[in-house]
């Protein structure tokens, strides 16, 4: 099996030197809080609930955005089926001025099935269609015959993509691709040869705005590289490949702040809790 490649960012750091004990403790406590929230989801690929996705409790990515609502801190989690990520989620929180901490959940299906999600909460995620649409990567070479060579191809293909976002206030951002994949995988699914998840972020923080999946798959025409894009933003989004627009997520109509038309994407502020000791703004 391929060894997963993880990118873990420091959640809090002093202006000089390495994170001190207090910041490390805060990061650990937030990590525990967010992981417990992720574990409240039971996700299935079938209505009989016989094909349950597996939550990877160790996040594949940790991020911060100091510019929004007092400072957001979050983790990205995946649920896998036969080794392939079928769901990716960002669980994050931020402080409020009245001494509370708001827990937010942002989820997207990458599955080729229509998922069934169980959770003991009034906040529900009910996808109505399979997840991201997988499209051929135009001009990509045939997938290489070794994992090491395919990793070189994965990185080269990912660098061919670029993104941008536009807020409701008409503030535009160019999105940059993080240089390392958040997660590399192979699957016991006979059609999946190799794959990786990448993230495009803005300069405002390190939180993902677009998740990019690049996979080598078996097709009727032979092995080939495909890609799929997933919204992780409350803004309108555009993705290009070699300068040509290949995917959009434009806010408006049924593509709302909280979900896309088919609920493959879902966002909600799940709840508020008293601020954790030592995390209140000074």
Residues 225-268 pLDDT 10s = 999 999 999 999 999 999 999 999 999 999 999 999 999 999 99
Buried b (16+ CB within 10 A) or exposed e, 146-184: eeeebbebbbebbebbbbbbbeeeeeebebebbeebbbb
pLDDT of 155 higher than 60: yes
Distance CA 88, CA 175 (A): 19
Predicted local confidence at residue 204, as pLDDT: 81
How far is C-alpha 274 from the chain's CA centre?
27
Q: Please compute the mean of the pLDDT values over residues 144-165 and round it to a whole number.
A: 97
The total number of residues shown for the chain amounts to 282
Q: Please compute the mean of the pLDDT values over residues 110-136 and round it to a whole number.
A: 97
For β-strands 192-201 and 172-177, DSSP reports them as: antiparallel
Q: Please compute the mean of the pLDDT values over residues 14-21 and round it to a whole number.
A: 35
Three-state SS for 141? coil
Q: How confident is the model at residue 23 (pLDDT cuts 50, 70, 90)?
A: low
Predicted local confidence at residue 17, as pLDDT: 34
Three-state SS for 76? strand
CA angle 47, 52, 57 (to 5 degrees): 145
Distance CA 159, CA 77 (A): 23
pTM of the model: 0.89
For 193, the token pair is: 């040869």
């Amino acid at each position: 099996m391929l060894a997963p490649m993880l990118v873990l960012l420091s959640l809090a750091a002093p202006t000089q030197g390495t994170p001190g004990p207090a910041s490390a403790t805060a990061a650990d406590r937030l990590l525990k809080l967010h992981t417990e929230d992720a574990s409240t989801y039971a996700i299935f690929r079938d209505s009989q609930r016989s094909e349950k996705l597996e939550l990877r409790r160790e996040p594949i990515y940790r991020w911060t955005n100091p510019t929004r609502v007092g400072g957001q801190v979050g983790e990205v989690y995946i649920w896998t089926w036969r080794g392939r990520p079928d769901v990716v989620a960002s669980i994050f929180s931020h402080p409020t001025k009245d001494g509370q901490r708001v827990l937010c959940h942002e989820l997207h299906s990458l599955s080729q099935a229509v998922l069934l999600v169980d959770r003991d909460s009034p906040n529900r995620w009910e996808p109505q269609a399979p997840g991201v649409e997988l499209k051929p990567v135009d001009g990509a070479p045939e997938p290489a015959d070794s994992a090491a060579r395919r990793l070189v191809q994965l990185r080269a293909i990912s660098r061919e993509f670029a993104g941008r976002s536009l807020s409701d206030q008409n503030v535009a951002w160019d999105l940059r691709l993080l240089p390392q994949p958040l997660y590399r995988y192979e699957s016991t699914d006979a059609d999946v040869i190799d794959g990786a998840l990448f993230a495009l972020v803005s300069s405002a923080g390190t939180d993902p705005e677009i998740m990019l999946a690049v996979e080598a798959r078996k097709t009727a025409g032979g092995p080939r590289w495909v890609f799929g894009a997933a919204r992780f933003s409350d803004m309108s989004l555009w993705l290009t490949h070699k300068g040509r627009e290949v995917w959009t997520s434009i806010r408006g109509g049924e593509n709302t702040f909280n979900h896309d038309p088919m609920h493959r994407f879902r966002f909600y502020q799940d709840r508020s809790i008293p601020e954790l000791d030592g995390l209140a703004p000074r």
